[in-house]
């Protein structure tokens, strides 16, 4: 009982510290201000920074559970993202429109992009605003290895190998590696069965 009370006081202190920044962005509704503070919060070092980032995102994202941890250099590019309970996100990660399930562990330098078609070109080849921003879901209890790039949904209980590039949905309870990521163990045939 006392432990829970102290933990709630601890979380409350970080929420109070982060609330002015969240309020200035209208709790994530003003994208330019939200992004400025998201990137600024990414540079706060140590455990204080980890908890401050969670507090800021708790107040600005569609969902961010206070029991999660977000490490140095990591930021969410879109306030529509969701982070469930007990999620750990390592250093220098960039998160797009992502929904991250409870208990998922994400190593350093991982990118979860907002789908595969975020930019459009005209007939001359120049880039323009717009594109197709899609929510990418990572299920509960997943492991995303260092440097992985995720552009499609990942099922619950799945492991994505380091430096893998997920370009198509990966089923639950699988292990996928490579670029593009292929399932080597789980619900799809193993690589040795398809060669």
Structural domains in the chain, CATH included, are 2-186 (2.160.10.10)
Helix, strand, or coil (residue 26): coil
Q: How are the residues of the chain apportioned to helix, strand and coil, as percentages rounded to the nearest 5? A: 25, 25, 50
Note the pLDDT of residue 116: 63
DSSP bridge partners of 127 = 121
DSSP bridge partners of 15 = none
Note the pLDDT of residue 60: 98
Per-10-residue mean pLDDT, the chain, length 195 = 87 96 97 97 96 98 97 96 98 97 98 75 71 88 98 97 97 96 76 46
Residue 35 contacts residue 77 (beta carbons within 8 Å): yes
Number of C-alpha atoms within 13 angstroms, CB side, residue 18?
Answer: 31
CA dist., res. 50 & res. 57, Å (int): 11
Using DSSP bridges, classify how beta strands 88-89 and 120-121 pair: parallel, antiparallel or unpaired.
unpaired
């Amino acid at each position: 009982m006392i432990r829970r009370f102290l933990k709630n006081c601890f979380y409350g202190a970080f929420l109070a510290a982060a609330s002015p920044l969240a309020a200035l962005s209208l709790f994530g509704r003003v994208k330019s201000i939200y992004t400025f503070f998201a990137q600024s919060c990414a540079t706060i070092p140590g455990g204080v920074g980890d908890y401050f980032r969670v507090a800021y995102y708790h107040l600005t994202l569609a969902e961010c559970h206070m029991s999660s941890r977000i490490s140095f250099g990591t930021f969410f590019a879109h306030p529509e993202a969701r982070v469930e309970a007990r999620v750990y996100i390592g250093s220098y990660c960039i998160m797009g429109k992502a929904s991250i399930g409870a208990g998922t562990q994400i190593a350093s330098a991982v990118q979860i992009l907002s789908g595969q078609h975020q930019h459009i070109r005209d007939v001359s080849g120049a880039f323009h605003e717009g594109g197709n921003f899609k929510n990418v879901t990572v299920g509960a209890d997943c492991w995303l290895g260092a440097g992985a790039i995720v552009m499609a949904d990942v099922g619950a209980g799945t492991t994505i190998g380091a430096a893998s590039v997920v370009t198509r949905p990966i089923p639950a309870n699988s292990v996928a590696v490579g670029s593009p990521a292929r399932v080597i163990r789980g619900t799809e045939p193993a690589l040795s069965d398809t060669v």
